[in-house]
């Protein structure tokens, strides 16, 4: 089914073969985010009980049909996910309201908001995008509902000013909070009219709001705690290494490496629930008690198949099961192997087959191996890369709030093991087998957009940019977004074609990273013709004062920046810019302003680094040079920058009547 774009009030029928769907909510602003939730509604438009409210504090409905999967970071930015098993939704449930809420700010601060439905193979089904939100703090994006035996999706776009608690109460949830919630304002509650009489009515907010009750669901988020890791202080020399929980001694390659690393992953997930939750939620698992088993044999026809591990998660009375097939080093999955596991999973009524390898697809949710779509009607196929596992381990350790010292140490030991070359688990380190051929074609000027090998290398570049965003996210503890044109975010072919065209026409790869609270975006450009990688950022100049004062402001910001940094000043007017090396600009600031009659609007800061040419491996590799250049430029140039903030008005600048009031 082709991805359909919905407008407010529009509805579509979902394909009959769909057994489960992912609900993905995305937003633009990364200063704060959306929390997804769902309400299972009866014929009266209300929940049957509080158990029908699925959100971060109650992560699965009683029947297991709807699950909250939490927040993930992908190259297009952060998103929140819900999982709906359509076949498991009770007959008494007529509709499922798909909701988002915020703890701070409002939906109007988040830019474009999008609700997307994705099938079990990771392909988008439908999308609703809105920029209509303003002061709302809770938002019903849409409803998945039943009509005449068919499942349908309707785009709603209705807001509440009373937050998640107020919205939940209006749908019949018994909410227990410290204070009553506020009534949503009528101007923010435009109720969309049904498209036809057969469509479900939209519940209108009640007035006045219900008072808080002593018992019921609490919507306040728990505050995470963090335990310190053990410190080793008594070694006589830096060469002394603490003993490893997961030893690398004796690890070879191939089967032994794969077994050890898979076992280390599964046992760590079992010991550290927060890590298990972080990893398993990437493949659609519910929150619950995790158990892992390795090399479990299954019968398929007259033969046996043995997945590397089985993941089982208990949530209430329901048991979620995933079959894991892991590869390390250069190992890759085959279509036949994954389809065999899909058959076994379907026979045993399991939920998902998980492929885990060093393959990092260019887009989140995409699969490195295509399988027969008919095998995905009852069982999902999800892919994990070791780079994502490493990312989750770093995130949980640094920013996840582990409050148990033993669990923190176990996870740190797992990360110490998995980052060792002998584990066979790697971050993105290989541009692929066509790299040398395409690199040489670019240098010779013979590459054309139609070269099929160029598409594979372009996908590797996009995966590299995605991995770079993951590295920054884990290091900084904020969601770093790989910015892509909206038209190609969910279109792999268009995304690849755009990258190939740039490479063929300009000889360059480029990527833009958006880092919350940074003064400007970080742009990385790898030029295969000059063998240089340039990193740049654009910073807005102050909008007051002379051009000279604006230059002084910029140079003061760059007092510790590298001397070879290029500083470009952009002006309005015919002569659009000037550019100088930072050392020259420091010595003679007027070089950046002489001869310019327009307003100085912004500064572009650029630094060049040597570009490695090797396909993989050492510090001289293409990937290592791009990664290290971006990290150095961010720490030395971007991180110290601060956006210009105008000074507070002086008392003498206030209107006379205000001065008199102050004197009184």
Question: Cis peptide before 208, with omega less than 30 degrees from 0?
Answer: yes
Each residue of 227-253: pLDDT tens digit?
Answer: 677 777 777 788 888 888 888 887 877
Domains 4-188 and 255-423 are alike in CATH topology: no
Each residue of 555-567: pLDDT tens digit?
Answer: 988 988 999 999 9
Q: Tell me the C-alpha distance between 416 and 394, whole Å.
A: 10
pLDDT for the residue numbered 205: 46
Tell me the three state secondary structure of residue 267: helix
Four-point Cα dihedral 397, 401, 405, 410, nearest 10: -40
Instruction: Lay out the sheet containing 124-130: strands in order across.
Output: 4-6, 124-130, 113-118, 20-27, 77-85, 66-74
Contacts of 406 (CB under 8 A, 6+ apart): none
Which parts of the chain have pLDDT scores under 50?
Answer: 1, 75, 178-199, 201-214, 660, 662-664
pLDDT for the residue numbered 29: 65
Contacts of 45 (CB under 8 A, 6+ apart): 95, 171, 200, 201, 202, 203
User: Across the strands, what pairs with 654?
Assistant: none
Task: Calculate Rg over the CA atoms of the chain.
Answer: 27
Beta carbons of 327 and 368 less than 8 angstroms apart: no
Break the chain into its structural domains and give their ranges.
4-188, 255-423, 518-638
Beta carbons of 340 and 375 less than 8 angstroms apart: no
pLDDT for the residue numbered 131: 66
Residue recorded with tokens 């290029």: 566
CA separation (Å) from 11 to 1, 5, 515, 594? Answer: 15, 10, 36, 60
CA separation (Å) from 336 to 245, 298, 340, 366, 385? Answer: 36, 16, 6, 18, 20
Helices (H) then strands (E): counts for the chain: 14, 26
Task: Find the helix packing angle between 435-444 and 492-506, rounded to 10°.
Answer: 40
Token pair for residue 268?
């760590």
Report the run of H or E that residue 508 belongs to, with start and end: strand 508-514
Q: Tell me the C-alpha distance between 382 and 385, whole Å.
A: 10
Distance of CA 223 to the CA centre of its chain: 22
Question: Closest Cα partner for 74 from 124, 26, 21, 20?
Answer: 26
pLDDT for the residue numbered 631: 92
Q: Tell me the C-alpha distance between 314 and 622, whole Å.
A: 44
Contacts of 216 (CB under 8 A, 6+ apart): 50, 173, 174, 175, 176
Q: Domain 255-423 is in which class?
A: alpha beta
Question: Closest Cα partner for 6 from 138, 151, 118, 125?
Answer: 125
The answer regarding whether domain 4-188 maps to CATH 2.60.60.30 reads: yes
pLDDT for the residue numbered 272: 93
- Phi, psi for 84 (deg, rounded to 5): -120, 120
Tell me the three state secondary structure of residue 555: helix
Q: What is the DSSP string of 22-74?
A: EEEEEES--SS--EEEEEEE-TTSSBSSGGGEEBTTB-B-TTSSEEEEEEEEE
């Amino acid at each position: 089914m082709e991805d359909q774009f919905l407008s407010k009030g529009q509805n579509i029928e979902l394909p009959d073969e769909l057994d489960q769907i992912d609900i993905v909510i995305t937003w633009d602003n990364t200063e704060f985010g959306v929390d997804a939730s769902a309400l299972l509604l009866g014929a009266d438009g209300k929940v049957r009980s509080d158990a029908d409210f699925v959100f971060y504090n109650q992560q699965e409905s009683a029947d297991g049909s709807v699950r909250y999967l939490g927040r993930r970071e992908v190259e297009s930015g952060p998103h929140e996910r819900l999982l709906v098993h359509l076949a498991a939704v009770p007959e008494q449930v007529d509709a499922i309201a798909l909701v988002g809420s915020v703890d701070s700010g409002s939906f109007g601060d988040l830019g474009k908001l999008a609700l997307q439905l994705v099938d079990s193979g990771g392909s988008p089904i439908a999308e609703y995008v809105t920029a209509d939100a303003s002061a709302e703090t809770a938002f019903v994006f849409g409803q998945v509902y039943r009509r005449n035996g068919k499942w349908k999706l309707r785009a709603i776009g209705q807001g509440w000013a009373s937050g998640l608690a107020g919205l939940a109460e209006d749908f019949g949830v018994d909410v227990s909070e410290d204070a009553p919630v506020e009534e949503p304002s009528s101007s923010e509650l435009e109720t969309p009219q049904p498209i036809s009489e057969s469509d479900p009515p939209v519940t209108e907010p009640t007035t006045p709001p219900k008072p808080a009750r002593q018992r019921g669901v609490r919507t306040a988020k728990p505050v995470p705690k963090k335990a310190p890791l053990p410190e080793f202080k008594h070694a006589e020399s830096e060469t002394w290494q603490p003993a490893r929980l997961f030893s690398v001694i004796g690890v070879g390659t191939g089967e032994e490496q794969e077994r050890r690393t898979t076992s280390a992953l599964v046992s760590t997930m079992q010991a550290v629930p927060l890590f298990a939750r972080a990893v398993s939620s990437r493949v659609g698992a519910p929150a619950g008690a995790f158990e892992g088993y390795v090399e479990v044999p299954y019968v398929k026809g007259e033969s046996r198949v043995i997945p590397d591990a089985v993941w089982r998660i208990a949530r209430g009375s329901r048991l979620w099961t995933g079959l894991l097939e892991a590869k390390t080093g250069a190992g890759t999955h085959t279509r036949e192997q994954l389809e065999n596991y899909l058959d076994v999973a379907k026979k045993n009524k399991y939920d998902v087959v998980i492929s885990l390898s060093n393959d990092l697809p260019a887009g989140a949710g995409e699969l490195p191996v295509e399988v027969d779509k008919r095998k995905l009607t009852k069982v999902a196929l999800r892919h994990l890369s070791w780079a994502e596992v490493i990312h989750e381990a770093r995130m949980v350790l640094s920013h996840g709030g582990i409050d148990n010292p033993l669990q923190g140490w176990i996870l740190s030991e797992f990360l110490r093991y998995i980052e060792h070359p002998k584990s066979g688990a790697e971050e993105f380190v290989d541009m692929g087998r066509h790299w040398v051929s395409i690199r040489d074609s670019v240098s010779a000027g013979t590459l054309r957009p139609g070269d099929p090998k160029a598409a594979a290398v372009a996908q590797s570049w996009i995966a590299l940019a995605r991995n770079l965003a993951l590295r920054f996210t884990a290091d900084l503890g904020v969601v770093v977004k790989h910015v892509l044109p909206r038209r190609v975010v969910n279109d792999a072919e268009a995304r690849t074609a755009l990258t190939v065209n740039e490479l063929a026409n300009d000889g360059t790869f480029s990527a833009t990273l958006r880092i919350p609270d940074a003064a400007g975006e970080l742009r990385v450009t790898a030029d295969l013709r000059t063998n240089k990688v340039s990193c740049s950022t654009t910073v807005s100049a102050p909008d007051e004062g002379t051009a000279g004062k604006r230059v002084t402001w910029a140079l003061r910001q760059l007092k510790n920046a590298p001397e070879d940094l290029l500083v470009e000043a952009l002006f309005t007017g015919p002569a659009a810019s000037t550019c100088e090396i930072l050392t020259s600009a420091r010595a003679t600031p007027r070089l950046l302003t002489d001869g310019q009659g327009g307003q100085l609007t912004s500064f572009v800061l650029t630094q060049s680094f040597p570009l490695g040419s090797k396909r993989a491996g050492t510090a001289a590799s293409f990937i290592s040079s791009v990664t290290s250049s971006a990290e150095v430029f961010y720490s030395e140039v971007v991180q110290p920058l601060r956006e210009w903030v105008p000074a507070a008005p002086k008392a003498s600048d206030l209107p006379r009547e205000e001065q008199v009031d102050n004197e009184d």
